[in-house]
Structures are given as structure tokens and as C-alpha cells.
Structure 1
Amino acid sequence: MTAVLAGTVALAAAGCGSDTTGTEAETPAKPTFAAGTTAARLAEAGKVTVGTKFDQPLFGLKGLGGDVEGFDVEIAKIIADGLGIDPDDITFVETPSAQREGAIQQSRVDFIVATYTINDKRKQLISFAGPYYQAGQDIMVKKDNTTITGPESLRATNAKVCSVSGSTPAEKIKEYADASNIVLFDVYSKCADALRTGQVDAVTTDNVVLLGLVDASGGAFKIVGKPFTTEPYGIGIKKGDTAFCQFIDEQLTAAAADGRYAKAWESTAGKVAGAAPALPTLATCS
């Protein structure tokens, strides 16, 4: 048990000895945390601002009614619940790939859950809790495309390929496609539109993100099915906030143990991707 959770266990007995009649439900005690920690500040405020994607079906998608839904959203709710914060008190802010580090550094969000691959470059600017999921980069094409069969076929077919500025996939695809044939937008929905209208021949990002775009395409797109990277998704937090990292990792571990993690997957990405994966081995907080 980490320092951030000091005193939490004692709360379990908070109602003991009270004169209850059995007709009134006891109000669960709110968790407490070590003074001065991020968790203590957020728990005291009773609200939290979370960065996520608004354009990625199954992980982070803002509907016409204004609600955001997806696996990343459910993971954020699990973390907020550990702080004693209700879902209605979470403010979700759109954080496209190129804006994520800045949003954390400028305190525009308290943490980010947004298909956010952990890598050394980003770790120079922020810290990560997790990972909570492991994906792999793949390629999406029109359903009738038979010439693009994997990353190695992009240069050979002179294919125009789309990805998102500031993303790991946008960097990786430079190994397989000429710079003049790489088209970058700020969100993946624009890549999907470009593929639909024939402005590009392929879209590349993590396979689970593509899976959502394929599902939303009504049968117009397909995934090549040749993942060529390993992408561990982490939760972005302020650089060096070890205590908050440890708190988040504890929430992920507890959710995996009691079934909430699997339920979060099954109610979102699992509707298309199938059975819930195991929670990946968590990295050391630093």
C-alpha cells in the first residue's frame, strides 16, 4: 500500500458503532490521501478533468448528444471512482495526439486516457501510469483493395497513407512510405473521410482504433491484419508525479481483480474486438 492511500483502510470502520436502525443505508466513506498529493487535491475538489479522444469509436467517441463513450472513458471512470468522484463530475476534454503533452504540462487536464502510447520521447516531457492496454499498428484500406497487404506494400504500390500529426504511428510509417505520400491530419476521422473519398489509399494507426473506424464504416473498410508494432497504452500525468502513478496503478490492478476492467472492455471495444484482454504488466512508476 502506497503513501497516497494512507488512512484509506481505516475508513472501512468509519461507520462501526453507530446507532443504525437497519432502515437507513450508510453513506460510504470517501477515500483519504496523503496531504499535498494530486489524489488528495482531486478528492477534495470532488471533480476531475480528463483528456481523451473524441473521434475514435470504441475508445473515445463524442456522440451527437454530447456524451463521450469508449474503453478509455471507462478506464477514466475507474480512476475517478478510486478518488470518490462520480462519473457526472468528470469533465472530458478533447486531446488530439499532438496536443496531449501540452495539455498535461499546462494543467489543462488532470490526466489523459487517449490511446496514448508510452515511449521514451514522451517520457521526457510527462510520466505514465499503466500500461492498461497493449495494441499494435496496422493498416486500414477500402474493402475491395487487394494491392495493399501490409506495410511493406505501401512503397511498392506508391500508396498515399494517412495518419495523425504527433502520433506514434505517423512516425513509424515513415519507414514504409515515402514522405511525399504521407498525409497527416489532426484527428483520425479526417483520415477515414479521406480514404472514403479516395484522397488516400490507406490509413494507419493502432489496430483497435482502426477496428472502431471499420465498424463505423458500414462495411466500406477493412483492416489488412498485419500488425507491425507493439503499442502499450498508458495514462498520461504530470512529469515525476510518482504518488499519483502508484495510485492509478492500484486502481487498475483492483479493477482487473474484481471484474470492472473486463466489464469496461466488454461494454465498449469488446462489442467488436471480442473477449477482454488481460491487464498488461504495469511499468515501474518514476
Structure 2
Amino acid sequence: MYQHQNLRWLNLVGNKMEGGLQDSFNLPALEVLLIQNNNWTGSLPSSLGNSTNLIKLQLSQSDDYLSYSGWTGGLTGGIPESNFTQIKHFFVGNQNLGGSGYQIPGFIFDSWSKDPRSGLRDFRIEGNNFEGTVPAELGDFNLLTFSIKNNNFSGSLPARIASGMKDVIIFEVRHNNLTGNFPNGEMIDGEWKGWRTKTRLRTFNIGDNNFTGPLPDMPEYVGDMSVLILSDNNFEGTIPDTWEEAFHTFFKR
């Protein structure tokens, strides 16, 4: 299976597979790899990074699976350096990745496509043990979903995260150790890019961190927003003017 030259789609979802993933991936045509909700252990094989046509990687254990299976293990180690030039959907949530001082190096994203339409669109690594700072390089992708909640990230959130991801729908950094002021955005080529310019945001979840300073700006358009969580931080000061429109929109529903 690991040496199949023409295999494009591999789906092993929801079985009782155990053990590690062999570090002998030679699947040059592979586009979709769905192997979540199993009992894998060990690390992500470095040879997986040679699957240059991979579009979707789904390793995330669902909350329902963890609840009924009682599984407490999971994959360990880091995210291997890869040549995922076609990757659009990257899901490795609810494993045991990271830990032991492991930080996600920004250079692993160098080969990932940043095209606003055909590049990386979903990045979910929630429920792991990743530490260190959030790579600023993630702000270079036009993500629809960004979830790093329930990890051990620390330090401040890079301004590039706020100024990028113009089409983001789900933004979740809850339950980390993030500090400092929450970034509203930055000027890029004479144009302000940040939370005020987001038009599709539905979930904004930054609770259970150590953010300080004023509350973050609200987008000019909040008509689609349904989840807003900023609890258990250290925000202070008055309610920003940018929240007035948001309150009016919420109360009109």
C-alpha cells in the first residue's frame, strides 16, 4: 500500500487500526489521505512529505470518537518537513503531537501554496501539545478555517495573522498561553488589513489566554458571526467604538 504509484485516494476512517505509520511512503499520485478515528501511535512519517500531490490530509480524531472509544493515545512528535505544494486541507487535531519543547518551524510552510484560491484553505491542529510561538508564516495563507485551540502556544500573536486570512470563517486560538495585546492588523502597501476588513467571520474564539490591553476590533461586517468568545483573558479599558455596529447587528437578529 505504501508503494502504490497510482493510488490517489486512501480512506481508512473509523476502523480499529493500531500501531505506527510506516516511514516508507512512496505514493506520488496520492491526493486524499483520510485515516482519522483510529488508534495510531508513533510519529508522522517524514516520507509522507514526499506526497507532492496531496490535497487533503485528515488525521484529526473527532470528539465523538474520543468519547465512545476512550482512546487516550495518539500520534506524537512534530510536523515533518514536507513538499506539500498542492495541500489545501490540513487536519491533525486531537492527537498528541508536539510537546517536549517542540515548536513548529516556519520554514516547513515554504513549499505550501499560498495562492488565495488553490492554496492552503484549512489548517486545524487543535487538541495537541504544540509549544512556542505561533508561526507568523501562517498569516500568508488565505485560510477559511484556522484552529490551534487547546495547545500550549505562548508569546504574542503575530500581526501577520491578523492582516492575512482575509476570507477566514472560523478563527480559534482558545486555551493556549498567548500574551500581549491582541493584534488588530497592520498597514500593507498603504492599505490597512486586519479584523475590520474581514467579511466572512462566523466564529471568533480567543478565550482562555492571557491577552492584555484593549478588546480587539470587530469586523465592519458581522452579519454572519454566530460565536464570539473572549472570556478568561486580561483585557481592560472601555468598549471600542468598533463594537457598536456589532452590538446593533446582534440585537437585530
TM-score (norm 2): 0.26
- Structure with greater Cα Rg: 1
Higher strand content, 1 or 2? 2
Higher helix content, 1 or 2? 1
Which one has more relative contact order, counting CA pairs under 8 Å at least 6 apart?
1
